[in-house]
Structure 1
Amino acid sequence: MHCYSPITGRLLAIPVKAVSYIDHVTEAAMLKVSILMRDTQRDNLYVAQETFRLRTPDLNIKCYNSSCQVDREVTLRMSFSNPLDQPLTQSYLYVESAGADDPRLLPVRSTPAACEMTCDVELTFQRKGRHLIYANFFCKDLHNAKGVFEVYVQ
């Protein structure tokens, strides 16, 4: 966070580490930071307040099949990098697509801090045409990691 100092006319960089706020972040991933500073030489108070929307990582989706066909399994790999300095536990992946099997809710193994989460999913499509695949990663520590992928089924 940056705060303008009226005395020096410079921006002051004030580091706010994730450890101090990560337990309080809700599903909307909004964060309001308020800072109260006291100038002891002039006995002045300065207040700064900023609102942030935290960015969650994109959920990448790759298809391993060279072509997608009706009534044949399509293998997809979902992945993203854990941006936190703590492991992601008790997490699951929700995958759905119109024209494919029923939506899937898959448990995901624990993802270590600053490592990549990967999960392979197999879907079978019953209709030809373009289909969007939607994936959502849910975890108590990281909210709303989402991905979309388009396939053409022959």
Structure 2
Amino acid sequence: AEDVAMQVEAQDAVMGQDLAVSVVLSNRGGSPRTVKLHLYLSVTFYTGVTGPVFKESKKEVVLAPGASDRVSMPVAYKEYRPHLVDQGSMLLNVSGHVKESGQVLAKQHTFRLRTPDLSLTLLGAAVVGQECEVQIVFRNPLPVTLTNVVFRLEGSGLQRPKILNVGDIGGNETVTLHQKFVPVRPGPRQLIASLDSPQLSQVHGVIQVDVAPAPRGGGVFADAGGDSHSGETIPMASRGGA
């Protein structure tokens, strides 16, 4: 009888931090059950190809009738860091069998490491044709330096795509940028920022900008500020630790 149920717990793993993958076993029968379990973890590429297993664990669990038990496998950042790829996706394979009944257990679970968001704050009112400023704050979640960091900033009616080269950001360091732009169209707009580096990608931030019409007699600038063809090296407004 298949009286042992297995559930993989959803992961809320943060890039740069240690994590733990967990499986919950439940004995729904009236007799004790001994489960031999094998957990193994690998990374997955955006193409769908799975990399080699870099962490595994074997456990034997005895379940009383009606009882449940959680089996966890801790994974340190230093263990998964060398295997990380651009998407930060991982695949947990779990296999096992119940000694008394011969029941076979098998599950696969894919999860992605969560990256931090960029925090965007509008400094002042947004008005068509008038210069406005946005503040971007980012905290490096990794204990290693991010090199060749590039910010991208864009927004329809707000800012042509602009590339900001900021260089290196130290491990667990917080940086703040200020960027000016000139809205060209009124109404609700979105300003979108992203960060990319060889060590960390998939970092985004967005802010809703309600642009007021130009005051009577005010001109409208045709240029939304920023050149989409060349990168700009921008100094940090401030640097601080965690």
Q: Which of the five TM-score ranges fits, normalised by the shorter chain? A: 0.7 to 0.9
Question: Partners in 1 of 2:122 and 2:106 — Cα distance?
Answer: 50
Q: Where does residue 135 of structure 2 map in the other structure?
A: 77
- Counterpart Cα distance in 1 of 2:176 and 2:136: 6
Pairs within 5 Å for 1:50-89 = 50-65=109-124, 67-89=125-147
User: Higher Cα Rg: structure 1 or 2?
Assistant: 2
What are the ranges of 5 or more consecutive residues in structure 1 without an aligned counterpart? 38-45
Counterparts of 1:86 and 1:33 in 2: how far apart (Å)? 26
Q: Which residues of 2 match residues 1-150 of structure 1 at below 5 A?
A: 1-3=21-23, 6=35, 7-9=61-63, 10-33=69-92, 50-65=109-124, 67-150=125-208
- Aligned CA distance change for structure 1 residues 139 and 110 (closer, same or farther; 3 Å): same
Q: How big is the shift at 1:4?
A: 5.5
Per-residue deviation at 1:34?
5.0
TM-score (norm 1): 0.80
- Farther-moved stretch of structure 1 (12-21 vs 142-151): 12-21
1:130–1:4: structure 2 CA closer, same or farther, 3 Å change rule? closer
How far off its partner does 1:62 sit?
0.3
Task: Show structure 2 runs of 5+ residues with no match.
Answer: 1-20, 26-34, 36-60, 64-68, 97-104, 213-242
CA offsets 1:82-109 (integer angstroms, 9 cap, x no match)? 2112121111100001112421100124
For 1:19, give the aligned amino acid. K
Q: Please give the root-mean-square deviation of Cα atoms over the aligned residues, in Å.
A: 2.5
Alpha-carbon shift at residue 55 of structure 1 (Å): 0.7
Q: CA deviation at 1:36?
A: 8.9
One-letter amino acid of the structure 2 residue matched with residue 71 of structure 1: G
Identity percentage of aligned residues: 25
Q: SS state of the match for residue 160, structure 2?
A: coil
- The answer as to whether partners of 1:132 and 1:149 remain within 8 angstroms in 2 is yes
Q: Structure with the greater relative contact order (CA < 8 A, sep ≥ 6): 1 or 2? A: 1
Shift of 1:33: 4.0
SS at match of 2:144: coil
How many pairs are equivalent?
A: 145
Amino acid at match of 2:22: H
Once residues 178 and 167 of structure 2 are traced to their aligned partners in structure 1, the CA distance between those partners, rounded to angstroms, is 12
More strand by share: 2
Amino acid at match of 1:56: T
Are 2:153 and 2:159, in contact at CA under 8 Å, matched by a contact in 1? no
- Distance in 2, matches of 1:124 and 1:134, equals 15
- Aligned partner of 2:112: which letter? R
Deviates more, 1:73-82 or 1:2-11: 2-11
Q: So what's the TM-score if we normalise by structure 2?
A: 0.53
Distance 1:120 1:86 in 2: 24
Structure 1 segments of 4+ aligned residues over 6 angstroms from their partners: none
